[in-house]
Structure 1
Amino acid sequence: MQREEKQQDAVLEAIINKVNDLKTSIGAMIFKVENEYETLNWPSFLDNFALISSQLTSLTKILSNEKAPPLRNFTVLPLLLKPDLDENLARLTDGRLNTFSHDIVPDYLRTKPEPDAELKMMTLEHKASCVNYDTAQKQVAAMNKVVGHVWDIVSKARDEWDGDASSRAGGAQTSSIADTNCLVAAISLGKGLKHTVPPPGMMGGPPTGPQRGPGALGPPQGPPGGIPNQMGQMGKTPSAIKTNIKAAGQIHPYNR
């Protein structure tokens, strides 16, 4: 008896731990659905669902283990019923159950469905047993047809959504990164700019030589005031100027 009780206590402790982990995962999933629905994506939701599924699988393995005693052979009986507030019970149930009274015990320690639910299940089972094979096959075929039609609609809508997303992502480009970089380099660094000298007469100054019309007579006239045109000799140094360069040490007034 002591060995069986130890096994029962160990199994119950493992079951409680797994149930607490499952409760935490379900609470986190509900919190995300209620508070993070704007940023919640489908892969994250599937990850939470996969975690809950794995925890349920672990709980099922514990219950089906050979060393685990068959819990269905045990009966849970309330030791104390009172309508007063029980702080310990509220702490164990996270505030969901504050009292353990006569009205709550039949619902929480029930081993069979409620009478109304059990009556509905018996009615449906009796109705299903009265349907012959051909009628059942026709109903199954009709249900499969409806499900297939809904599946086609969902698949078509998904393809349209994917096409719209790809078309928005690959739209016509209205700018060029290379041209933008060239413009920035030309403005800030002057890269790619060329310096060109305009031809004579395009600078806005006086013409370099006398201009005569086609009907002008007589010798060409010089500039006003009789100033000779020496534009061609502006860049030449007169040869009559002589220079005498001496060493700095010979002409320094403070040379000792």
Structure 2
Amino acid sequence: MQREEKQLEASLDAIIMRVNDLKTSIASMLVKLENEYETLNWPTFLDNFALMSGHLTALSKVLSNEKCAALRSLAVLPLLLSPERDEELVRLTERRVAAFAHDHVPDLLRTRPEPEAEARLALLEQRAANMSYDAAQKQVAAMNKVVSLVWDLISEARESWENEVGARAGVAQTSSVADTHALVAAVGMGRGLKQSSSGGPQNNNGVPGAGGMGNSVAGGRGGMGPGQQQQQMGQMSKAPSAIKTNIKSATQVHPYAR
């Protein structure tokens, strides 16, 4: 008897743990649907749905495990009903149930659907049983046609999307970010530009040394007179002779001459 009680407690602890995980994922999904419905996208919704599906699968594995106690053979009976507030019950139910009263017991310990839902289910089962085989096959064929049409639409949209993505990836790139940065640095800061062969600065027209020569000539001529300018031009026009000459005066004064 003690062994069965310990096995039941372990099974209940494992079930409660899985149920809490499932409850947390459902609460997170509800919060996103209520607060992030404008920015919530389809992949995020599918991820949350897959998480809930995983928790349900884990709960099913725990219930179908051989070590889990056979809960179907157990019955839950209310031992005490009270209309007063029970703090322990409030804590266990996360403030959803304040008292284990007579009006809550039928809903909390229900093992069958509600009478209205049970009546509607019985009506649907009766309609399905009275339907002929040909009518059922026609409805199945119509349903399959609708599903096939939706599947074709989804497949075409997926193919067009994949083709568009492949076309974007196959377009050759016509620009280089590194070359653009190098060009901007060369134009703005002169980075990477080589100096001219003369080593002098370049003017705005790209002629090396032209600006400096013009400035020096202009400055030299500005301080000269007209005669000096002609003399300088004459000296520049005459080529230097390679023959040395010694010119002597024709008349010399003798110191003892009378």
Same fold at TM > 0.5: yes
How far residue 33 of structure 1 moved from its aligned partner, in angstroms, is 3.3
* Residue in structure 2 matched with residue 197 of structure 1 by the alignment: 207
Partner Cα distance (2:166, 2:16) in 1: 49
Greater fraction helix: 2
Structure 2 counterparts to residues 208-219 of structure 1, below 5 A: none
Residue by residue over 1:212-254, the C-alpha shift from the partner in whole angstroms, topping out at 9 and shown as x without a partner, is: xxxxxxxxxxx977951634856x9x9xxxxxxxxxxxxxxxx
* Residue in structure 2 matched with residue 186 of structure 1 by the alignment: 187
Partner Cα distance (1:7, 1:131) in 2: 48
Partner Cα distance (2:153, 2:234) in 1: 90
Partner Cα distance (2:207, 2:233) in 1: 19
* Residue in structure 1 matched with residue 232 of structure 2 by the alignment: 230
How far residue 68 of structure 1 moved from its aligned partner, in angstroms, is 2.7
Residue by residue over 1:109-140, the C-alpha shift from the partner in whole angstroms, topping out at 9 and shown as x without a partner, is: 10000001001101101111111222111111
| Structure 2 unmatched ranges of 5 or more | 197-201, 219-224, 241-258
Matched to 2:207, the amino acid is V
> CA 1:199 to 1:57, structure 2 compared with 1: closer, same or farther past 3 Å?
closer
Residue by residue over 1:87-124, the C-alpha shift from the partner in whole angstroms, topping out at 9 and shown as x without a partner, is: 21111111111122111111111000000100110110
Partner Cα distance (2:148, 2:6) in 1: 53
* Residue in structure 1 matched with residue 94 of structure 2 by the alignment: 94
* Residue in structure 1 matched with residue 137 of structure 2 by the alignment: 137
Partner Cα distance (1:73, 1:179) in 2: 78
Partner Cα distance (1:27, 1:3) in 2: 36
CA contact (8 A) 1:186 1:192 kept: no
> CA 1:231 to 1:121, structure 2 compared with 1: closer, same or farther past 3 Å?
farther
Identity of aligned residues (%): 56
Matched to 2:232, the amino acid is Q
Partner Cα distance (1:79, 1:191) in 2: 91
Partner Cα distance (2:63, 2:53) in 1: 15
Moved more, 190-199 or 58-67: 190-199
Alignment TM-score, normalising by the size of structure 2 = 0.68
Partner Cα distance (2:99, 2:235) in 1: 119
CA contact (8 A) 1:86 1:99 kept: yes
Number of residue equivalences: 218
Structure 2 counterparts to residues 1-256 of structure 1, below 5 A: 1-37=1-37, 40-159=40-159, 177=177, 178-192=179-193, 195=202, 196-197=206-207, 227-228=229-230, 230-231=232-233, 233=235
How far residue 24 of structure 1 moved from its aligned partner, in angstroms, is 1.8
Partner Cα distance (2:132, 2:231) in 1: 126
How far residue 188 of structure 1 moved from its aligned partner, in angstroms, is 0.7
How far residue 62 of structure 1 moved from its aligned partner, in angstroms, is 2.1
Partner Cα distance (1:52, 1:112) in 2: 25
Partner Cα distance (1:232, 1:55) in 2: 108
RMSD of aligned residue pairs (Cα, Å): 3.7
> CA 1:226 to 1:6, structure 2 compared with 1: closer, same or farther past 3 Å?
closer
How far residue 183 of structure 1 moved from its aligned partner, in angstroms, is 2.8
* Residue in structure 1 matched with residue 254 of structure 2 by the alignment: none
